[in-house]
Structure 1
């Protein structure tokens, strides 16, 4: 049944905003007895007084195919999104530029800013983009084999037990994990001849090869030579005297459904585990040591208070949200920060002043599985602010995945979310009606 314009009544607004937990006959009222909160509103914005305004429409800016995983940073010169199976850059002039193709179709991509680059991962593929939009792997590839070794006389190497390992160095100066060491015995006054030195597959992006040799006295791997790609033979006549090897037993971090950087380490949510890198060795990990398991798939990876007091990592699985307190994994203290998990993907970082907190530092903001908007504070405290101070409770729908956007527009501060497979929360009042129409010619 349609409603005529003359049947509409003017309203001053709903000063308490939304309340979807109270029954229809139990909504709060003003002193005059008028409803003070609204149950549900589609495509409507409310000002600070609760007056509704029709939400602005939108126009097509950039065409795409099944576009998802949009990302941007206020201090970054371009944005990112996925169109079809292609990771794509969006420039300020709304020009799009394809960067990486062949992505797993439909798999959401997580992004993280790291200095002058952006890390990305979709659970099965991963990489890093520089400011120049050059696409690279998370880490320099590791040499897969050892060179051929021959021991010769007429050298200055001492007698003893030696080991040799190799690494690659890429054009950005990143060093790979070391190859598996090979061990051998050297007689006194000998030299070492190496041939068939391993070479990287991408000689343009990985232009150097480094050889490490352990001392016959202290067993420490030290740089013996750094060579340009293409050199396949080398003779070592004296003990290695360069800096010590720091990437022994390290391998590239695997792809995961989430990625973040915190206190000089890279963290990756992979299935029900969180993997991490050694300090300042982004993209690398020790596979047998640098990971922590949880009860279920990790849906949230949110650091807070980077490099300061209260530093830690919020991690959510399907049941709970934990806080891993401490500056490094070796010092972590795991506590339950919130009794339910988080909706995957529904995470952003906002200055604390947005929530009237006395800090401009960015804080993680996410949607919990119970529909609450959560703000993670240093030290592991979680607050659940409501749209208006003193307003009644309200929750967002449950969903299999979500996304968050914050904007300031027309004097309003808005937290906007989009949800996949949205369903009303079990604790919310359900009064929606679904009409199904059958045509006479339907089977």
Structure 2
């Protein structure tokens, strides 16, 4: 590119492939690329995009799709989207005339950030740190089938059971599958006894052990009476599992739901997205978790530092890959357009955009060229447009002290073109 500088002479600036740089003084932005061609850093770029060859083009304009006070937590994929406006969670459906918003939930805490995760079954799981559930289009559902509302009562009757200690537990069947179990009830019976269960619901499943046994199997009942051992059904898988609580981040990894709750990464039982083991189904970290981003063969977790957890999460040791963490709400993923479809992760750190790959490496692609002020949160968006791939990044400054003249938050936006 040739630009007139003073009206006296012209200067060949070359391409702008290096992107932005606010570390160098304006007089030192020129560079020579490895192929000996000329290039120049940009000190400022507004409403422009850079393509893969370093050429500038004006960014496309925007059209207002939806407005409202206190709008936040926008999420979407190829089929649908969601966002929060005020106290409402809205479903966003693309139509030829624009986005069609439909209220899904109301009464949510205003401005509580929402995290979303598309699950293999098609539902979207959401959490805002106070509540957690699943979304199926415009319908809000619980995360899992609730346990029996009224726990049936158990008493001894005459029968043909051998003497011993028996344990009984209950689950509920529903559209979302089988619920977690109730706490087991134990009875010690003499010989020739039976068990009477009252208060059974139409969809309640009864599990029972044998005499002095520890394994629960589904059992048939005759109008609530068990007078002989018929516990030959499937084994109870949800015994002593707890409901997954709400968290600040939700993600899916290898059949399990991941939830960041404070300093703990909770890991659901495989394909039991609403249940986890409170004794072993979590990994503690030294500081609150701000980013959880799966990447095919492992998961990146940002807390006090950035960690890589490879393979089976409960059978691995976190490995530090960066000496700093990430900004809350900034995680995302993309598959490479090279025909391989390799999943890559990205997020914002205090020092710029980081890209993680399935081998567990995490690379800061902005640190050498850009310096940043403090930020309390961030957001990212992968965009494929006009043959170029960009990750759009927004950083939110820390809240100003009460009484400061400026009542809003300043947002620092940086566009980084990557080779994804």
TM interval, short-chain normalised:
0.7 to 0.9
Q: Deviations over 1:139-185 (max 9, x none)?
A: 222346643322122x2222111111111122232x22211111111
Please name the residue that 1:315 is paired with: 301
Are residues 185 and 29 of structure 1, via their aligned partners in 2, closer, same or farther at CA, if it must alter by over 3 Å?
closer
- Distance 1:417-1:328 versus aligned 2 partners, 3 A rule: closer
**Which residue of structure 1 aligns with residue 318 of structure 2?**
334
1:366 alignment counterpart: 347
- The answer to which of 253-262 and 397-406 deviates more is 397-406
Alignment partner of 1:95: what SS?
strand
- Return the structure number with greater relative CO, CA threshold 8 A, min gap 6: 1
TM-score computed with the length of structure 1 as normaliser: 0.79
- Which stretches in structure 1 are left out of the alignment for 5+ residues? 1-5, 200-206, 228-232, 306-310, 424-433, 435-443
Tell me if the contact between 1:326 and 1:333 (Cα under 8 Å) persists in the aligned partners. Answer: no
- Deviation sequence 1:27-80 (CA, Å, 0-9, x none): 234699997111112222234444433333212112333211111122xx3111
Find the counterpart in structure 2 of residue 224 from structure 1: 219
Q: 1:209·1:226 contact (CA, 8 Å) conserved in 2? A: no
Match of 1:431 in 2: none
**Cα displacement (A) at 1:315:** 0.7
Q: 5+ unaligned residues in a row in structure 2: which ranges?
A: 1-5, 400-409, 411-420
Residue by residue, what CA displacement relative to the aligned partner does 1:1-46 show, whole Å, maximum 9, x if unpaired? Answer: xxxxx98989765343211121233323469999711111222223
Instruction: Provide the TM-score with structure 2 as the length reference.
Output: 0.84
The one of 176, 179, 190 equivalent to 1:176 is 179
Cα displacement string for residues 275-303 of structure 1 (whole angstroms, at most 9, x for unaligned residues): 11122211101223212211111001111
From 37, 56, 65, give the equivalent of 2:60: 56
- C-alpha change, 1:376 and 1:415, in structure 2 (3 Å) is same
Aligned residues: 387
1:376 is aligned, of 346, 356, 363, to 356
8 Å contact from structure 1 (residues 145, 179) kept in 2: no
Query: Which residue of structure 2 lines up, in the alignment, with residue 347 of structure 1?
Result: 331
How does 1:263-282 map onto structure 2 within 5 Å?
A: 263-282=254-273
| Partner SS for 1:403 | strand
- Within 5 A, what are the aligned runs for 1:23-102? 23-29=25-31, 36-74=40-78, 77-93=79-95, 94-102=99-107
* Structure 1 residues 11-22: aligned runs within 5 Å: 14-22=16-24
Is the partner of 2:167 in helix, strand or coil?
Answer: strand
3-state SS in 1 of match to 2:219: strand
Give the distance between the partners of 1:364 and 1:33, measured in 2 at CA. 32
1:302 corresponds in structure 2 to: 293
Whether 1:419 and 2:395 are equivalent positions in the alignment is yes
- Whole-angstrom distance in 2 between the partners of 1:342 and 1:60: 30
Q: Give the 3 Å change call, closer, same or farther, for CA 252–363 of structure 1 in structure 2.
A: same
Residue of structure 1 in register with 2:3 after alignment: none
Runs of 4+, deviation exceeding 6 Å: 6-12, 31-35
Partners of 2:37 and 2:115 lie apart in 1 by 48
